[in-house]
Structure formats: C-alpha cells, structure tokens
Amino acid sequence: MDFLPIFQNVKGRLCLVVGGGSVGMRKAGVLLEAGAKVRVVAPDIDEALKAQANVEVVLARFDESHLEGVALVIAATDDCGVNKQVSVLAQARNIPVNVVDDPGLCSFIMPAILDRSPLMVAFSSGGASPVLTRMMRGKLETVIPQNYSRLAAFAERFRELVKTKVTNPAKRRIFWENALDGVVAEKVLTGDENSAEAMLQQMLENEDNIVRGEVYLVGAGPGDPDLLTFRALRLMQKADVVVYDNLVSKPIVDMARRDAERIFVGKKRADHTLRQEEINELLVRLAKQGKRVLRLKGGDPFIFGRGGEEIETLAAEGIPFQVVPGITAASGVASYAGIPLTHRDHAQACVFVTGHLKDGTMNLDWELLARPRQTVVVYMGLHGLDTLCAKLVEHGMPDTTPIAIVQQGTTPNQRVITGTLATLPGIAEREQPQAPTLIIIGGVVTLREKLAWFHPQG
C-alpha cells in the first residue's frame, strides 16, 4: 500500500486552489461539494467561479502568504515551477498538498469517486494509471446503482435503534446484512420505505431467528484469484471469519472482507499446524458463536481436500453449511500450462491420484495407472517422484512416456519442467521445483509445445 486511504472532513475549513483554469475549477467544485470554503489564487480566474458562494478569489500569482489559515492545498496550474513551489511551501508547513498529475509533488492524492452519499467509494492506482482507475469506477457504477444513496440513508436512520436493540456486535452485523441484502433492501430501493421499516421492526422483535452461525466450505481454485467463482467471492465478502491453509494464495485471502478475522491453520507436508480433527472442531466452535465461517480450501474442497470430513462434523453438530466447488489443481494447472487432460489422439481417460508417501511407499493401483491412452495426474507426488516413475515403468509404461511437473500453477511463479519417466527424476533433482507441484503423465504433455503460447507465464 503506497498511500493510506482516508476521508477528510473539510466542512467549513479554508482550502486553497492554485490555478484558475478548468482543472482548478473542477477541484474547487469538489471541495465545495464537501462543504469547504475555497480560496482560489490565479492571475486570471473564470467568471463563473468568482460568482460562487464560499469562494474567495485572489487575482494574483501565488505566494507564500496565500497559505495563511489553509487546511489543504491543491495546485492545478500548468506551470511546473509554481506547482513545485506550492508543494514545497505547503509541505514545510505540514499542510496536505496535491499537485494535479504530479504524484511526486503530492502529500495526498485525490481518488476517483463514486458518489452515493452517504455511501462513497474512492478509487486510486496511487498515480500509476488514472485511466485504469476510471475504468474500474465505470464498472462499479453499474453494480452500485444510484438509489444505494437511499439505502445508505435508510440504514443511517435506524442505526441507533438497532444498536440499542441488538447489543452483540457480531449479531448486529448479521442483522444488518440480512436487512441490507434481502427484502428490506429491495423495498427501500423501489421507494417503499414504509414497508421496509415495518419489516425491519419485525426483524428486531424476533432476534433469535436472525442469528445463526454457518459454515461455507469454499474451493478457492489453484491460485490465480481470477479463477474464483462468483459465489466464492460473494461469500468471502460476507464471512466474519476466514479459516485458510497455505494452499490458498495471499491475493485470494486478501479478497475476504477487510475486517474479517483470519485464522491460518497451516498444513505443509509433515508440519501440520493444526490437526484435521482440530480444524473440524474449530469450525464448529466458531459457528456456535453465531459467526459466518468461511473455510477456504485450495482447488476444490471435495478433491483431495478432506472437505467430506469437515462437513461430517458440521452435520453431526447440526450446523448449517454450504459447499462451493472450486477449480481443482488438475484442471486449472493443466490449462495454464497448455496441457489438455484428454485428447482424441492421446488420452480418452484421465485419472487423479494422490502420491502421498506413507511409510516411504505409495499405495496405488499400478496396473490401472500404467494403462495406455490415458492421462494420470498426481497430487502431492513430488516427494515420491522416483518411486512413481519406477513403479509405472515396472508395470509396463514405456520409460519414454512424457511427464511434466508444474510448480505453483496459475500463479506468477508457475514453472513447468518436462521430461520422460526415465529422465524426469534427475531433472527434478537439479531444478528443485517449489511446492505446490502437480505431476501430469501421458502423451498430452507433448501438446504443450504447440499450445503453451496461450499462457506466456508457463
């Protein structure tokens, strides 16, 4: 984070705009909207601005005396020398200063805004790309309709009442989310505030019905946040607690609600921060406190994810839950590496297995895996790679069979190492791929050369 986003109260305070052209006008306009008094300094100033209430016009070149009594400064001249002078003098006095289009001279920057007062959304790229910022705002314009102003005002009107009636903060948040996410909101948005109010009162009388903890068991996909489902994202925005392990990439965990509690439950090979039973119990305990618990899992929760065990415990305790599928590593990683898992000429079937070593051995159905015309995808297989290749050859798979290891697929650190059953163990020893890694075995691996250009990161 390069800047701290804050909203400043400038009501009734004197703010200075240096520059009387169209940009200066616009900045003065925003300051006036926020309730500021504005002093505009320039040798030449637009007539329309002069006529505005709360505007003090100074027809002069900028000098230090214009900073007197000023709470905030915006420099919007086309003279770099003047802009710099404003910035240096303001900063020497600790007055926040913004120089339009020159982030290096700014102590604060102005975001693009989506104004649904009292709801306000601010966007910034820290000066990196104002165009991108405006595009993002354009997208959100459609998601947050104009009448959200009305909804925000409605919520403000009942805020104190709800606070006195629902005293537990966690319960109160759930109360508001139910209200602002359901029928009450719909009524407000269509302008029927009387019905909305009646419904809200009814909800307040029946608090017990509102508050119930639940668990969302959500597949987060293999790493790239773009591969989340809409439902995953929506629930991530809703949950009070996020329970995640190290298969879930940081950018994804960062997408959960800002103030949600985050609990890391680890799980690297042989270094289990919490045992599975402890995770199951943790989910139950959190839900019983009335929280909405998001259990984020890498890939798909039901593919080598022990999701089944987690919901068994929840079901036994009568805790409501929902399971949201995710893109499993095999599918996400193969596609980003340019390896189709099935192909008319190479593979009519695809098998997913776990190559987890138990007591130094891998207990797999080797006959089945060594069959021709199929693709074998091995999860958690890197440590057993030597055994895996040797066993497949022993059971009749040609040692020239192509095989790939994909490191941290779909992330910026994706790396693909290819070879054959005979050569790959040696190559991997040299290349030292980093976890998590997925192993793909079969003729389809050779297609990568033709297809990988789709994904430059591969």
Nearer to ligand SAH, 105 or 265 (CB): 265
Alpha-carbon gap, residue 94 to 70, rounded angstroms: 11
> 51 to 70, contacts with ligand SAH by CB under 6 A?
none
Q: How far is the CB of 446 from ligand SAH (least distance, A)?
A: 20
Distance CA 439, CA 159 (A): 54
Provide φ and ψ at 46, rounded to 5°.
Answer: -55, 135
What the block records as the tokens of 362 is: 């891998």
In the bound complex, what is the minimum distance in angstroms from residue 400's beta carbon to ligand SAH?
24
Out of 217, 220, 265, 303, which residue is the one contacting ligand SAH (CB under 6 A)? 303
Closest to ligand SAH by CB, 83 or 411: 411
Among 225, 433, 436, 442, binds ligand SAH (CB under 6 A): 436
**316: exposed, middle or buried (Cβ count in 10 Å: 0-12, 13-18, 19+):** exposed
Q: How far is the CB of 386 from ligand SAH (least distance, A)?
A: 16
- Give the amino acid at 246: N
16 vs 380, beta carbon nearer ligand SAH: 380
Per-residue interface string for the shown chain with ligand SAH, residues 398-417, x marking contact by CB under 6 A: --------x-xxx-------
CA-to-CA distance for 173 and 344, rounded, in angstroms?
53
| Contact call for residue 300 and ligand SAH (CB under 6 A) | yes
Instruction: Reduce the secondary structure of the chain to three states and give it as a string.
Output: CCCCCCCCCCCCCEEEEECCCHHHHHHHHHHHHCCCEEEEEECCCCHHHHCCCCEEEEECCCCHHHHCCCCEEEECCCCHHHHHHHHHHHHHCCCCEEECCCHHHCCCCCCEEEEECCEEEEECCCCCCHHHHHHHHHHHHHHCCCCHHHHHHHHHHHHHHHHHHCCCHHHHHHHHHHHHHCHHHHHHHCCCHHHHHHHHHHHHHCHHHHCCCEEEEEECECCCHHHCCHHHHHHHHHCCEEEECCCCCHHHHCCCCCCCEEEECCCECCECCCCHHHHHHHHHHHHHCCCEEEEEECECCCCCCCHHHHHHHHHHCCCCEEEECCCCHHHHHHHHCCCCCCECCCECEEEEEECCCECCECCCCHHHHCCCCEEEEEECCHHHHHHHHHHHHHCCCCCCCEEEEEECCCCCCCEEEEEECCCHHHHHHHHCCCCCEEEEECHHHHHHHHHHHHCCCC
- Catalytic residue, chosen from 224, 240, 245, 300, is 245
Q: What span, in angstroms and rounded, lies between the C-alpha atoms of 38 and 46? A: 14
Size of the site for ligand SAH (CB under 6 A): 22
Judged by CB under 6 A, which stretch of 72-80, 132-140, 156-164, 430-438 contacts ligand SAH?
430-438
Among the listed ranges 20-28, 40-48, 64-72, 328-336, the one in contact with ligand SAH (CB under 6 A) is: 328-336
Q: Which stretch binds ligand SAH (CB under 6 A): 77-85, 98-106, 134-142, 434-442?
A: 434-442
Name the one range near ligand SAH by CB under 6 A: 64-72, 93-101, 118-126, 300-308: 300-308
Catalytic residue among 27, 37, 187, 267: 267
Q: Which of residues 210-249 bind ligand SAH (CB under 6 A)?
A: 222-223, 247
Are 278 and 306 within 8 A, CB to CB? Answer: no
Segment near ligand SAH (CB under 6 A); pick from 40-48, 60-68, 258-266, 296-304: 296-304
17 vs 353, which CB is nearer to ligand SAH?
A: 353
Q: Is 375 in the site for ligand SAH (CB under 6 A)?
A: no
List the x/- string, 77-116, binding to ligand SAH by CB under 6 A.
Answer: ----------------------------------------
305 interacts with ligand SAH by CB under 6 A:
yes
Least distance in angstroms from the C-beta of 241 to ligand SAH:
20
Residue 218 phi, psi dihedral angles, 5° rounding: -115, 130
User: Nearer to ligand SAH by C-beta: 40 or 439?
Assistant: 439
Q: Which of 19, 111, 225, 298 binds ligand SAH (CB under 6 A)?
A: 298
Q: Which residue is nearest to ligand SAH (CB)?
A: 299
C-beta of 85 vs 331, nearer to ligand SAH: 331
Nearer Cβ to ligand SAH (165/306): 306
Beta bridge partners, 405, equal 417, 439
Q: Is 267 a catalytic residue?
A: yes
Cβ closer to ligand SAH: 50 or 268?
268
Give 149 or 387: the residue with its C-beta nearer to ligand SAH: 387
Rg of the chain in Å (alpha carbons): 30
Is 133 a binding residue for ligand SAH by CB under 6 A? The answer is no
Under rule CB under 6 A, residue 299 binds ligand SAH = yes
- The least CB distance from residue 435 to ligand SAH, in Å, is 6
Q: Which residues are catalytic?
A: 245, 267
Residues engaged in binding ligand SAH (CB under 6 A): 222-223, 247, 297-300, 303-305, 328-329, 333, 379-380, 406, 408-410, 436-438
